[in-house]
Amino acid sequence: MPEFNNMNKTNSSNGITCPIFQKREWTIKELTRDINAARSISDKAEMAIQLKNEVTLLLSCEEFDGDNINCKNCRIISGLRKNTAELLIKAKGLG
């Protein structure tokens, strides 16, 4: 697992050099790992709610700069993660 002690370092898995993203990324990766390991859709959905909350914070970042590639990549990744979380939450409602 990568270390996030130095928030100015580039995360090799996504290349985003933003301390705000890096701070949330550790929690997001842990939630994603736990979602993947969960056996029931109910458990997955509960963690997906937490995941959605984390990425929503990134999507509403007050430091967003549309000219900054890190910001653009963060928005894309966070949007995809939010969509995934919402699918898991909806799946719980179907079952």
Per-residue model confidence as pLDDT tens for the chain (95 residues): 333 333 344 444 568 999 999 999 999 999 999 999 999 999 999 999 999 999 999 999 999 999 999 999 999 999 999 999 999 999 998 87
State the alpha helices, DSSP H only, in the chain: 19-37, 41-59, 69-94
Domain extents for the chain?
19-94
Rounded distance between C-alpha atoms, residue 70 and residue 11, angstroms: 11
Q: What is the pTM of this model?
A: 0.81
- DSSP conformational letter for 14: T
Residues with Cβ within 8 Å of residue 25, at least 6 apart in sequence = 4, 11, 14, 16
Tell me what pLDDT residue 64 has: 97
